[in-house]
Structure 1
Amino acid sequence: MKILVTGTDGQVARSLRERGAQFPDCEINFVGRPELDLARPGSAAAAIERLRPDLVVNAAAYTAVDLAETEPEAAFRINGDAAGEVARAAHEVGAAIIQLSTDYVFDGTATAPYREDDKTAPINVYGRSKVAGEEQVRSANPEHLIIRTSWVHSPFGRNFVKTMLRLAEDRDEVRIVADQVGCPTNALDIAEGILTAATSGKGSGGTYHFAAGGQCSWAEFAAEIFAVSSGLGGPTADVTPISTAGFPTAAPRPRYSVLDSSRFQQEFGFVIPRWQESVAEVVRRLVSE
């Protein structure tokens, strides 16, 4: 199977590069800027036409949640219109598409994990731009999988785990929001899940949730990071829980964005690790570097 991945440096793209070694029947091509720039209309279609893959994984995205509040045009261009262009170009060469989306498509008012058919109601620009991307992908290419994930972390790029370990290098205490709950998910697990679905031989077309098992607050997430790091002799700090009001951000966040991932696991026979396991894997790698 010939796969084209949009982007080269993001957490999921780099995880696909690493986990791709476990899927020898997949030829994975990574195309990023300047050749493929989702901010520039037409560049994605040209790259897809040149490579003519069997599958496109749209891993590139506008992910600056707070900045999107003042750059809505850029967010909607990359996450919305460009996603549709990628899906359309894939369809034109007979390729399926896997589109990555987010828990931020929901408003956070639920009291039980969100299922795929729950109504989307994003409360920030980033979430609205990702909903727009989902809608365009569905319209442009019937052979699609839309995979919503959440609180992505990994040994790569910038993420919450790396930020906490960096802060603990010179702080004894960190103040972390305790009234937002979600599912920290390892990009390496996402990559393996994507490739498992891609090679399953099952027909595409649908929306799936993919998030680590269990749930926690950001403060609990940080405490787990430091517990693992401390056990390995790495940096650690005390966690002081605070409210969302104590840490104002430009973009509002959903208070509860836990995803029910049972459909993906049942459909593709893939067991997603619990969040503590995935966090421990990432922390071990980062501390040992």
Structure 2
Amino acid sequence: MKKILVTGANGQLGSELRVLAENYKNYEWFFADRIEITLNNLELLKTQLNNINPDVIFNCGAYTAVDKAEIEKETAFIINHLAVEIIAKFTSENNVKLIHVSTDYVFDGTSSIALNEEAQTNPINLYGQSKLAGEIACLKENPDSIIIRTSWVYSKFGNNFVKTMQRLMQEREAINVVNDQIGSPTYAHDLAKVMIDIVESPNWIPGIYNYSNEGEISWYDFALSIKELGRYNCNVVGVPSLSYFTPAKRPKFSLLDKKKIKEIYNLDIPDYKESLKKMF
């Protein structure tokens, strides 16, 4: 029986994989939190990987505090770059399949068309830089690995935009939401299912893939959909990014082109609103 190791087990994606694992008893699942897989202690990480000895790794663990990364650069790079390098090297040396999760923040946001896997990377914040360094290390150490870039992840688990909006819309009469950053949300449950589908597929085609739900929207549009589905009375006001100071810059446009993953793995990707309804 194949053993699948999931890092970042308590995060949004890890938690959704735990739910889905109930339907895939043909695998032995190992859900590792920060103690069982210590991404910021590289020597210990090597030992832990050898002890767990998986056949497949879903690397969902990451340093994801985008603004904090501007101050905690070293920690972000240890977790998002050097730990990925070690995991990729381990998978290469032990013939282990690796799916590593990355981000749309590897782009600078200056595009006006959906970004495919070949699009020029140019991160504008330290989080994006650390994730891009992780991608490069991953493919260098294990060219047979699969990297999935995703965007605007949300779930019923953890902290995310949808849950924040649900809370604020019940607490306040009006909220401001940025209306000039364009992309598409990703329901973590959908992405978790795709990761399992890839492992189940007879095709293992290494390289980078994009995945998010369908749709081209702003955070403001997303908030309006949340308001509609939650039937909240809160007034949602669209404002430009300049109205909000954040330590880290965000890409203005990071819509991902999903053509490659749809064709190779024969996927039917749901529209963002369909998936948002499922979460509600």
TM-score w.r.t. structure 2 length?
0.97
Please tell me whether residue 245 in structure 1 is matched to residue 242 in structure 2. Answer: yes
Please tell me whether residue 88 in structure 1 is matched to residue 89 in structure 2. Answer: yes
Letter paired with 1:28? W
- Displacement of 1:49 in angstroms is 1.1
Change over 3 Å in CA distance of 1:147–1:75 after alignment to 2:
same
SS for the counterpart of 1:139 is: helix
Letter paired with 1:187? A
Please tell me whether residue 263 in structure 1 is matched to residue 264 in structure 2. Answer: no
SS for the counterpart of 1:42 is: helix
SS for the counterpart of 1:189 is: helix
Partner of 1:48: 49
Task: Measure, in 2, the Cα distance between the counterparts of 1:96 and 1:44.
Answer: 17
Spell out, residue by residue over 1:92-116, the C-alpha distance to the aligned partner (whole angstroms, 9 max, x if none): 2220211100001001111110000
Q: Percent identity?
A: 39
- Contact 1:215/1:275 (8 A) holds in 2: no
Question: Larger deviation: 126-135 or 44-53?
Answer: 44-53
- Displacement of 1:35 in angstroms is 2.5
- Displacement of 1:20 in angstroms is 2.0
Task: Measure, in 2, the Cα distance between the counterparts of 1:254 and 1:90.
Answer: 32
Task: Measure, in 2, the Cα distance between the counterparts of 1:109 and 1:57.
Answer: 30
SS for the counterpart of 2:98 is: strand
SS for the counterpart of 2:175 is: strand
Task: Measure, in 1, the Cα distance between the counterparts of 2:187 and 2:120.
Answer: 25
Letter paired with 2:100? Q
Spell out, residue by residue over 1:239-281, the C-alpha distance to the aligned partner (whole angstroms, 9 max, x if none): 1000000111110001000000111111111211111111122
Letter paired with 1:271? D
Task: Measure, in 1, the Cα distance between the counterparts of 2:178 and 2:115.
Answer: 21
Partner of 1:108: 109
Partner of 2:20: 19
- Displacement of 1:45 in angstroms is 2.1
Question: Larger deviation: 86-95 or 252-261?
Answer: 86-95
Moved over 3 A (4+): none
Aligned residues: 279
- Displacement of 1:27 in angstroms is 2.1
Change over 3 Å in CA distance of 1:110–1:10 after alignment to 2:
same
1:1-289 matches, within 5 Å, as 1-230=2-231, 235-282=232-279, 284=280
Spell out, residue by residue over 1:54-101, the C-alpha distance to the aligned partner (whole angstroms, 9 max, x if none): 111110000000011111111111001111111111222220211100
TM-score w.r.t. structure 1 length?
0.94
Consecutive unaligned residues of structure 2, counting only runs of 5 or more, are: none
Letter paired with 2:238? P
Task: Measure, in 2, the Cα distance between the counterparts of 1:116 and 1:57.
Answer: 20
SS for the counterpart of 1:22 is: coil
Letter paired with 2:254? S
- Contact 2:176/2:239 (8 A) holds in 1: yes
- Contact 1:59/1:99 (8 A) holds in 2: yes
Task: Measure, in 2, the Cα distance between the counterparts of 1:24 and 1:124.
Answer: 40
- Contact 1:196/1:270 (8 A) holds in 2: no
Spell out, residue by residue over 1:197-231, the C-alpha distance to the aligned partner (whole angstroms, 9 max, x if none): 1110212411000011011100000010010001x
Letter paired with 1:89? F
Task: Measure, in 2, the Cα distance between the counterparts of 1:252 and 1:51.
Answer: 38
Letter paired with 2:37? L
SS for the counterpart of 2:170 is: coil
- Displacement of 1:236 in angstroms is 4.2
SS for the counterpart of 1:12 is: helix
- Displacement of 1:42 in angstroms is 2.3
Letter paired with 2:29? I
Consecutive unaligned residues of structure 1, counting only runs of 5 or more, are: 285-289
